[in-house]
Amino acid sequence: PFIDSLLKSEEFNVNEPDQESNCTALHSSVYHGLLGVAALLTSYGATWECKDFDGCSVWDYLNDNRKPFSLINEKSLLYSWGNNYSFNLGSETGNSKQIPIPVKGFERLTVRKIVLSKYHSVILGENGSVYSCGVGESG
């Protein structure tokens, strides 16, 4: 793809901010829900701690809920990242994830919709199947 060839270019700095808001390409990809692009930028060394002119890092964009986003890349792989204190990321441990990682067990499922919250996540498959993960003590 075009972005892959751009990232391989010696002239391209993956952490170069724009002049308007001081956002990096990673800020923009997370804001617009482009997880495949965010994962690719991260693999080329994009920094999640860069701050825009408002002092917001990429993590702030991710946790701000400014715009709902899909955690499905163009190959229909489900990814998750962030705080995992309540096991809502779908991983086997309560460890938080710093970068997007594929969620095991969803490799063959075509996902129609995802709803995320602080304590649980619900995944609706194209075939009507429903999956959930997280703490089940209070709802």
Structure-model confidence comparison of residues 128 and 86, the more confident one: 128
Cα 55-44-46 angle, rounded to 5 deg? 5
Query: What's the token pair of residue 31?
Result: 């804001």
Distances (CA, A) of 57 to 21, 30, 42: 12, 11, 14
Q: What pLDDT score was predicted for residue 2?
A: 77
Per-residue confidence band for 136, with pLDDT thresholds at 50, 70 and 90 = low
DSSP summary character for residue 123? E
Q: What pLDDT score was predicted for residue 25?
A: 92
According to DSSP, the residues that pair with 95 across neighbouring strands are: none
Cβ contacts of 139 within 8 Å, gap of 6 or more: 119, 120
